[in-house]
Structure 1
């Protein structure tokens, strides 16, 4: 049986490993420290809302959301920043349950929409989100990047 709950301090090691696995899947290297994960997911004013999926006492997946707003319309939303389920646990409902938890939270935050992005070639993830009622949105924009000095 899969149980969904909020991230707790004791989950940080498991979360760190799953973040690294997701980054590796996308050809990236995870560089976030455990301290950064605590700060961003559990601190006094966390930047991310995070839920974990647990089965037989083992954390097998997670979902992380960020708040978003369109200032020009006042429309609030949430971005499903990360969704990960251990490879050997996929297809058992954990991903669906994590998305449901995120959507429930977003509704409680008066969000009107939830967005999620996938790698353009990840047809399995795209099909998964469409099965859950997400509609594809064509997005054409140029993003810019600049380091901030603090």
Structure 2
């Protein structure tokens, strides 16, 4: 058994039934290093299984994680070897997790994944406001302490694990990079920042291309209901427009009814997703 990452030129052979638009998008992602196809070969030419995944950015971890988009495997031994190699790739790249958005029973045998139920939203750029608002600005170096406070408050609100020590300085170095993998917008007030949003450009295999992922959006509780959240989302839409992309995506816990109602009001379409994390 041979397990290896497919080159862009090999994808049509590995995935012969995949639509051309998805193949073209995957080739571009493999070339750019934002997506990959891990292939199990039983012999030189026979494909015994594959896993398509992307490298997504997590604001709270200030690191990337593997996001699995498609799995095709029918043999438990092949599945075990694919999962082992996925773990190695995540470790080699300093990633903290692997996320599955489908219940891949065979691949995850013995993995003891953590289950999460989410509501995933998609906002079509052509249907949404892309007006930038003067009160909202990009993250600056002096925002580090306030960004950490907002991120930790956000984690408490979403009942998530608190961030590790030092995550804020790592995140700020990423946000302020010359060609940032992730970027952020903040809402300043006289007494400090009252909200923030972080976004990244990500690849979606089933879409055949990239989209803007709104990883975090949070406002101090007493500042909600004044339209600021919608203004932040408009900045994400404007970012997508400048990139020539057609979608903004994000997710929220399925129990977060106030956020779900708000996202539906701004025109986003939500679907239920079950996620498994290892």
> Which TM-score tier does this pair reach, normalised by the shorter chain?
0.7 to 0.9
Q: Does 1:96 align with 2:230?
A: yes
Q: Which one has a larger percent strand, Structure 1 or Structure 2? A: 2
**The one of 162, 172, 191 aligned to 1:29:** 162
Kept in 2, the 8 Å contact 1:51–1:63? The answer is: yes
1:18-57 to 2 correspondence within 5 Å? 18-27=150-159, 28-31=161-164, 32-56=166-190
Q: What is the CA–CA distance in structure 1 between the aligned matches of 2:233 and 2:215, rounded to whole Å?
A: 11
- 1:117 CA drift (Å): 0.5
Q: Which has the larger radius of gyration?
A: 2
Kept in 2, the 8 Å contact 1:2–1:94? The answer is: no
Structure with the greater relative contact order (CA < 8 A, sep ≥ 6): 1 or 2?
A: 2
Q: Deviations over 1:67-101 (max 9, x none)?
A: 11234653221111000001111112221111111
Q: What is the aligned length? A: 144
TM-score when normalising by structure 1: 0.85
**Any runs of at least 4 consecutive aligned residues in structure 1 with deviations exceeding 4 A, and if so which?**
none
Kept in 2, the 8 Å contact 1:75–1:112? The answer is: no
Q: What is the CA–CA distance in structure 2 between the aligned matches of 1:77 and 1:115, rounded to whole Å?
A: 7
Q: What is the CA–CA distance in structure 2 between the aligned matches of 1:101 and 1:54, rounded to whole Å?
A: 15
Unaligned runs of 5+ in 1: 146-150
Q: Does 1:12 align with 2:144?
A: yes
Q: Secondary structure at the match of 1:92?
A: coil
Q: What is the CA–CA distance in structure 1 between the aligned matches of 2:151 and 2:134, rounded to whole Å?
A: 20
Which region of structure 1 is more displaced relative to structure 2, 72-81 or 116-125? 72-81
**The one of 249, 253, 256 aligned to 1:122:** 256
Kept in 2, the 8 Å contact 1:54–1:61? The answer is: yes
TM-score when normalising by structure 2: 0.48
Unaligned runs of 5+ in 2: 1-132
* Aligned residues: CA RMSD: 2.1
Q: What is the CA–CA distance in structure 1 between the aligned matches of 2:207 and 2:136, rounded to whole Å?
A: 33
Q: Deviations over 1:114-149 (max 9, x none)?
A: 111011100100011111110012335x5453xxxx
